Amino acid sequence: MSAASVAAGGSTTALRLRSLTWTVFVPMVVYGIGSGAAAPMYALRALDLGASAGLAGVVVALSGLGMVLTDLPAGRIVAVIGERGAIAVGSVFGVGGVLAAIFAPNVAVLALGMVLNGAAGAVWGLARQTYLVAVVPAGDLGRAMSTLAGSMRLGFFCGPFLGAAMVHVLGPNGALWLQLASTALAGVAMAAIRSADAAGATTARISLGAVMIEHRRTLGTLGLAALLTGAARAARLALLPLWAAHIGVSASTTSLVFGVAGAVDVLMSYPSGVWLDRYGRRATGVPSMILFAAGFGVLPFTSSVLGLCVAAVLLGLANGVSNGLIMTVGADVAPDAQRAEFLGAWRLTHDIGMFAGPVAVGAISAVTALGAAALALALAAAGGAYAMHRWFPGVIGHTPQRRPGHDEAG
The mean pLDDT of 31-42, rounded to a whole number, is 86
Q: How many helices (H) and strands (E) does the chain have?
A: 17, 0
Q: Which of 143, 134, 125 is nearest to 186 (CA)?
A: 125
How large is the greatest C-alpha to C-alpha distance in the chain, in angstroms? 60
The pTM of the full predicted model, rounded to 2 decimals, is 0.78
pLDDT cut 90: percent of the chain above it: 42
Contact 68, 123 (CB under 8 A): no
What gap in Å lies between CA 282 and CA 219, rounded to an integer? 17
More confident residue, 1 or 67: 67
Please, what are the domains in the chain? Answer: 1-195 (1.20.1250.20), 209-410 (1.20.1250.20)
pLDDT of residue 114: 94
Mean of per-residue pLDDT scores for the chain: 84
257-296 pLDDT per residue, tens: 888 888 899 899 889 989 998 898 999 999 999 999 999 9
Residue 303 has pLDDT above 90, yes or no: yes
Cβ neighbour number for residue 8 with a 10 Å cutoff: 14
Q: What is the three-class DSSP state of 400?
A: coil
More confident residue, 395 or 129: 129
| HSE-up (13 A, CA, CB side) for residue 101 | 36
Q: What is the DSSP string of 140-186?
A: GHHHHHHHHHHHHHHHHHHHHHHHHHHHHHHTHHHHHHHHHHHHHHH
What gap in Å lies between CA 108 and CA 46, rounded to an integer? 10
Contacts of 170 (CB under 8 A, 6+ apart): 177
319-350 pLDDT per residue, tens: 999 999 999 999 888 888 888 889 989 999 99
Contact 49, 61 (CB under 8 A): no
Cβ neighbour number for residue 2 with a 10 Å cutoff: 12
- Local confidence band at 410 (pLDDT 50, 70, 90 cut-offs): very low
The mean pLDDT of 56-82, rounded to a whole number, is 87
Residue 214 vs residues 208, 224, 338: alpha-carbon distances, Å = 10, 16, 11
More confident residue, 291 or 167: 291
Encode 213-245: b = buried (16+ Cβ within 10 Å), e = exposed: ebbeebbeebbbbbbbbbbbbbbbbbbbbebbe
Ranked by mean pLDDT, which of 116-125, 203-212, 290-299, 353-362 comes out on top? 290-299
What sign does the CA torsion over 294, 296, 298, 303 have?
positive
Q: What is the three-class DSSP state of 395?
A: coil
Cβ neighbour number for residue 102 with a 10 Å cutoff: 17
pLDDT of residue 201: 44
DSSP annotation of 196 reads S
More confident residue, 206 or 386: 386
What gap in Å lies between CA 333 and CA 161, rounded to an integer? 38
Encode 324-362: b = buried (16+ Cβ within 10 Å), e = exposed: bbbbbbbbbbbebebbbbbbbbbbbbbbbbbbbbbbbbb
Least reliable range by pLDDT among 1-5, 102-106, 252-256, 322-326: 1-5
What gap in Å lies between CA 44 and CA 118, rounded to an integer? 18
What gap in Å lies between CA 51 and CA 106, rounded to an integer? 9
The mean pLDDT of 167-191, rounded to a whole number, is 90
What gap in Å lies between CA 277 and CA 216, rounded to an integer? 26
